[in-house]
Each structure stands twice: as C-alpha cells, then as structure tokens.
C-alpha cells in the first residue's frame, strides 16, 4: 500500500512539474515574442521620431517625452535642383530608386554629424542639430554634415553615371535660431518637429543657392559660431518672400 501511495504521489508530483515546466516554457516564448514586437515597434517608431525620443517615450511615458521646449536649434534644409524636369523624364521605378539612394546617403551624412531628419518633403529634406539635446557645436556639426552631403552626392553621381542615369544636384540652406521643439501632430500621427521662423529662413536660404549658383549657404547667424577654418564667401544681400530683413549669407567652400 505504501509503495502504491508513493508511486501515486510521485506521479502527481511529476505531472505538476511537467505542467509548471510547460507554463514556464510558454511564458518564456511569450516574453521572447513580446521583446521582438517591442524591438519592431521601436524600429517602426524611429522612422517617425528620432531614436532618442522613442526611448524617452518608452522609459518615461508620453507626458515627459512630449513636453514642448523652446530651443536654439540649427536647421538644415536641402532640396534637389531640377527635380521636376527629372521626374518627367524617368520611369517611376527608376526615379524612386534614385531618390531612395539619395535620401539614404544624405541621411547617413546628417546622422554621422549628430543631426536628425525631421521630415522628407517631396524631393527635399529638413534636418535639425541641437533639437534633441544641448549641442554647443551644432553649427559646426550642421556645416560638416552639409560638406559630407556634398561628398556623398559626388560619390552617388559617379554610381549613377555608371548606370547611365543623370546626375543629381542639391541646394542646402542652414540657419540657426529659436523655435519650439517637441512632438507635434494629430491623434492619428505625431512626429518630432521644430517650428518657428528659423525653419522658414533655412528654406529661403536654400532657395538662394540657385540665385547665387552655389550648393551650400549659411546665414550670418551661424558665422560667429563656426570654426574659423571653414572657408566662407560672402554673397550679395537678398530680400526674400516672407522675411522682413534682407538675408546675409555665405557660401561654404
């Protein structure tokens, strides 16, 4: 009888152990799946907001991460020259491949110099330096990024030429000033942005690259902050739409 009871008790214990193991195994697989889902969510969100913002959203909650702040930020606006004519000549698939390659190279150059892409605007892009966290070298970083973009585009154009595709030309305008930084948008979609006069000026400066026949222009607001080793050539003062004061700009050599 004792042997039978012992066998029954052993069987019950074994069944309980197997059940617990199965539960633990199932829980472990669920945790692994949740970790993969979280990683994928972070990757997806990072395409709408910078990685630093996504991490703050997860770690601190939305109230902390989305608090808007007034900051002095350096804005870089870049736009392709002659894109409309180019888009009319090329097949959609070829044009999309060219644009994707261009945007990837420009994004890499910006990220390598502590900037982040705020948004793509058709064939243009808007990037910020010093928006996510204080950066006393934001002006230097922005100009270094612009120079890296120039070099990256030259390499990309060589690649396009080997495929018998037309070269791309870009105009880059950079301005520094005060604005509102934070997550901005609707309930359905929000993105980390920077709004204010600074962005408008950067866009206007970019448009002046065509007027002066250069590829990189910076405003007078950057000049005192820049390393003296940058080669700057003063351009004629211009009055542009929407900006009251004439713009003083310098071409970056």
3-class secondary structure per residue, 220-241: CCCHHHCCCCCCEEECCCECCC
Of 123, 128, 81, the closest CA to residue 100 belongs to: 123
pLDDT of residue 58: 47
Cβ-contact 83, 134 below 8 angstroms: no
Identify which has the larger pLDDT, 36 or 173: 173
pLDDT at 96 over 50: yes
pLDDT of residue 83: 87
| Residue whose tokens read 């206007």 | 204
| Residue whose tokens read 């894109």 | 83
pLDDT of residue 211: 94
Q: How many CB atoms lie within 10 A of CB 220?
A: 14
Q: How many helices (H) and strands (E) does the chain have?
A: 7, 8
| Residue whose tokens read 């330096």 | 129
Structure letter (DSSP) for residue 1: -
In order of 80, 173, 205, the CA distances from 208 in angstroms are 13, 8, 5
pLDDT of residue 64: 42
DSSP per-residue string spanning 122-181: TTEEEEEESSSS--TTHHHHHHHHHHHHHHHHHHHHHHHHHTT-----EEEEEEEEEEEE
Assigned architecture for domain 66-252: 2-Layer Sandwich (3.30)
The domain ranges of the chain are 1-46, 66-252
Distance CA 213, CA 20 (A): 73
Using pLDDT thresholds of 50, 70 and 90, give the confidence band for residue 22.
confident
pLDDT at 37 over 60: no
Distance CA 222, CA 243 (A): 17
Task: Give the angle subtended at the CA of 182 by the CAs of 176 and 185, to the nearest 5°.
Answer: 115
Identify which has the larger pLDDT, 22 or 180: 180
Using pLDDT thresholds of 50, 70 and 90, give the confidence band for residue 19.
confident
Cβ-contact 178, 71 below 8 angstroms: yes
Element (H, E) at 47: none
Q: How many CB atoms lie within 10 A of CB 222?
A: 24
pLDDT of residue 86: 86
pLDDT digits (tens, 9 = 90+) for 44-91: 445 545 555 555 444 544 444 457 888 999 999 999 998 888 888 899
The pTM of this model reads 0.75
Task: Give the angle subtended at the CA of 72 by the CAs of 47 and 243, to the nearest 5°.
Answer: 95
pLDDT at 41 over 90: no
First to last CA, the chain: 97
| Residue whose tokens read 């888009």 | 87
pLDDT of residue 63: 46
pLDDT digits (tens, 9 = 90+) for 126-144: 999 998 888 999 999 999 9
């Amino acid at each position: 009888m004792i042997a039978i009871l012992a066998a029954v008790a052993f069987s019950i214990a074994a069944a309980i152990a197997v059940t617990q193991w199965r539960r633990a195994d199932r829980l472990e697989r669920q945790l692994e799946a949740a970790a993969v889902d979280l990683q994928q969510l972070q990757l997806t969100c990072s395409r709408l907001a910078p990685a630093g913002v996504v991490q703050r959203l997860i770690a601190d909650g939305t109230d902390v991460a989305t608090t808007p702040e007034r900051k002095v930020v350096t804005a870089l606006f870049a736009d392709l020259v002659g894109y409309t004519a180019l888009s009319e000549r090329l097949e959609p698939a070829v044009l999309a491949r060219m644009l994707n390659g261009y945007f990837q190279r420009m994004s890499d150059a910006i990220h390598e110099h502590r900037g982040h892409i705020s948004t793509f605007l058709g064939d243009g892009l808007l990037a910020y330096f010093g928006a996510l966290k204080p950066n006393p070298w934001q002006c230097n970083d922005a100009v270094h990024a612009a120079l890296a973009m120039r070099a990256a585009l030259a390499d990309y154009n060589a690649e396009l030429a080997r495929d018998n595709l037309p070269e791309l030309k870009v105009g880059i305008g950079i301005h520094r000033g005060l604005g509102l930084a934070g997550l901005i948008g609707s309930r359905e979609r929000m993105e980390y942005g920077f709004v204010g006069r600074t962005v408008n000026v950067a866009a206007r400066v970019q448009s002046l690259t065509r007027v002066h026949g250069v590829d990189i222009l910076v405003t007078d607001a950057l000049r005192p902050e820049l390393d003296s080793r940058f080669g700057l050539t003063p351009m004629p003062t211009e009055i542009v739409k929407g900006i009251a004061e004439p713009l003083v700009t310098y071409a970056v050599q």
